Amino acid sequence: MRGAALGAILLGCISLQAVLCASGDASFFAARRQALMQRIEGSVAVLQGAAGTRAYTRFRQDNNFYYLTGVEEPDALLLLDATQHRSILFLPAPKEDAELVEGLRLFPGPDARKATGIDEVLDLSRFRDEMEKRKKTFQFLFTPSSPYETAATSRDLALKHDAAQQRDAWDGRLSREAAFEKNLKEKLGRSVRIRDLAPILDAMRRIKDAQEIERLREAGRIGALGLKEAMRSAAPGMYEYQLAALAEYLFLWHGASGPAFSPLVGSGPNARLWHYSLNHRKMEPGDLVVMDFGADYRYYQSDIARTFPVSGRFSEEQAKIYQAVLHAQKAVLAKVRPGATFEALEEAARGALKPFGYDTPMPHRVSHYVGMSSHDPGEDEPFAAGVVLAVEPGVYLPDKNLGIRIEDTVLVTGEGCEILSADVPKEIAEIEKLMAERGSR
């Protein structure tokens, strides 16, 4: 009786999981898998999903794994056989009563195959046998050597972290990716030729498809709601972290899974620190606040920064410097179009700031890719329609304890660009009008 009841519950869970897994149209994930297999014709690719969490925290899939599958199960593996153009998903076996405790899960079998659109969904224990069957038939075995990415992971920082861990005399561990490659060689034999899949995936992820653009637009909309609420609620006596909390609340309320990265809320002297994230200072009358934050919506992110006066009105000096930065951002945005480059955007920012006397190099780049990560991977090459960028010129004046940065998430279109975070005001009059409204303070 108990087994039959549990079986009925499991069938219901699998049926609902099919809707959850394929949300947003699973055909996009299938098209990406086919596009990748075309790029590695005659070879095989293997990707690890993110490991299960070690604490009571929400699981989030690795970006590359989700990009190709839409599957949000921990400890999964994906095999893409480009000799036969077939895909196999490997999932852990079901744990007794797991659904009754944790909620919906996806398990090996035909129901999971129907839910995901993947050719086969097998038990994780069968992965080695499937690889052994193929190892004499493929030219190369591709697997990503880049660090896995989850919600707030930026590859540049992840690479530094992994390198520091390996150099640590008291740690010395290989990265997860290096350990996986080592195990593949040991178990399949040294004759297997392994290649890095990351550059191929990076090139694919650089230009967004229709599903990705839809999600990025929504991430921009939700991010804007959070930033606007923080701006209208700001007041002397509040703490920086309270502005971050208000924005994150709006993110979650409107459907985001959470923040895209740890919030940067620098007031007064902290505004000149372009990556300040302690957020523990009490804001004072006359402070400027640089707030850099964004929402993570269904694996796609926004990256938005605004500078605003905590008392609601810019001083004359603050307004003068702010207008210079706004002028620079507009000059950069005017250059964003197919064929433009990051170098051209840097030149536009420098040229726009120079007449104002701010021609010293910025401590950060004026632009970077945005997508599944706030610092998305991709080569520095001319833009194409479907590329998404952050545009963020800034001026930082340590002698005045002052910093100003204005950032938007921007989609490159066929003719120019679309600002995905345009709902957050940045003209001085519009900022002051918004801050005169009653917020959540």
Here the tokens at position 94 are: 């079901």
- Cα separations in angstroms, 356 against 174, 322, 353: 49, 11, 5
pTM, rounded to two decimals: 0.93
How far is Cα 33 from Cα 331, in angstroms, rounded to an integer?
Answer: 39
Q: Is the dihedral of CA 272, 429, 312, 233 positive or negative?
A: negative
Sign of the torsion angle spanned by Cα atoms 155, 161, 164, 165: negative
Q: Are strands 295-297 and 86-91 parallel, antiparallel or unpaired?
A: unpaired
- Lowest mean pLDDT of 152-161, 194-203, 207-216, 414-423, name the range: 152-161
- pLDDT at residue 33 above 70? yes
Q: Do 159 and 373 meet the contact criterion of CB atoms below 8 Å apart?
A: no
DSSP annotation string for 247-278 = HHHHHHHTT--EESS--EEEEGGGGGSTT---
Strands (E), 101-253: 120-123, 141-143, 194-196
Residue ranges covered by each domain of the chain: 2-206, 210-435
Q: Are 43 and 83 in contact (CB under 8 A)?
A: yes
pLDDT at 20 over 70: no
Rounded distance between C-alpha atoms, residue 31 and residue 206, angstroms? 16
* DSSP one-letter string for 385-430: TT-EEEE--EEEEGGGTEEEE-BEEEEE-SSSEEETTTTS--SHHH
Q: Where are any strands of DSSP class E within 152-257?
A: 194-196
DSSP 3-state of 434: helix
Q: Which of 248, 244, 256 is nearest to 216 (CA)?
A: 256
**Residue 7 predicted with pLDDT over 60:** no
Contact 408, 422 (CB under 8 A): yes
In the three-class reduction of DSSP (H, G, I as helix; E, B as strand; rest coil), residue 98 is classed as helix
Residue 69 φ/ψ region, left for φ over 0, alpha for ψ in the -120 to 50 degree band, beta for the rest: alpha
- Please state, for a pLDDT cut of 90, what percent of the chain lies above it: 82
Instruction: Give the 3-state secondary structure of residue 209.
Output: coil
- At residue 429, the pLDDT reads 98
The two three-digit tokens of residue 347, written as one number = 């030149």
- Residue 359 pLDDT > 70: yes
Amino acid 227: pLDDT: 98
Nearest to 239 by CA among 275, 263, 260: 263
Percentage of the chain beyond pLDDT 70 is 93
Minimum mean pLDDT range among 19-33, 118-132, 202-216, 325-339: 19-33
CATH homologous superfamily for 210-435?
A: Creatinase/methionine aminopeptidase superfamily (3.90.230.10)
Q: What is the mean pLDDT of residues 79-100?
A: 89
4 vs 108, more confident: 108
- pLDDT confidence tier of residue 441, bands split at 50, 70 and 90: low
pLDDT, average across residues 103-122: 92
How many CA atoms lie within 13 Å of 172's alpha carbon, on the beta-carbon side? 2
Q: What is the three-class DSSP state of 188?
A: helix
Tokens 């196999």, located at residue: 88
Mean pLDDT over the full length of the chain: 92
Q: Single out the residue of 93, 69, 75, 371 nearest to residue 212, CA to CA.
A: 371
The CATH T-level fold of domain 2-206 is Creatine Amidinohydrolase; Chain A, domain 1 (3.40.350)
> Is 67 a residue whose pLDDT tops 50?
yes
Helices (H) and strands (E) in the chain — how many of each? Answer: 14, 18
Of 302, 326, 153, nearest to 225 by C-alpha is 302
Residue pair 147/158 in contact by the 8 Å Cβ criterion: yes
> What pLDDT, on the 0 to 100 scale, is given for residue 24?
54
The reported pLDDT for the residue numbered 131 is 96
Q: Looking at residue 11, what is its pLDDT?
A: 40
Q: Is the pLDDT of residue 278 over 80?
A: yes
**Whole-angstrom distance, CA of residue 33 vs CA of residue 27:** 10
pLDDT 10s digits, 378-397: 999 999 999 999 999 999 99
What are the strands of the beta sheet with 300-301, ordered from one edge?
258-259, 295-297, 300-301
3-state DSSP assignment of residue 38: helix
Give dist(CA 268, CA 264) in Å, integer. 13
Q: How far apart are CA 284 and CA 418, in angstroms?
A: 36
Instruction: Report residue 203 as tokens.
Output: 């090139």
Whether the predicted pLDDT of 248 surpasses 80: yes
Task: Quote the tokens at residue 125.
Answer: 């224990």
The single-letter DSSP state of residue 376 is: -
Q: pLDDT digits over 161-186, tens only?
A: 888 898 989 999 999 999 999 999 99
Place of tokens 């490659």: 181
Q: Which of 33, 191, 232, 13 is nearest to 120 (CA)?
A: 33
Give the length of the chain.
Answer: 441
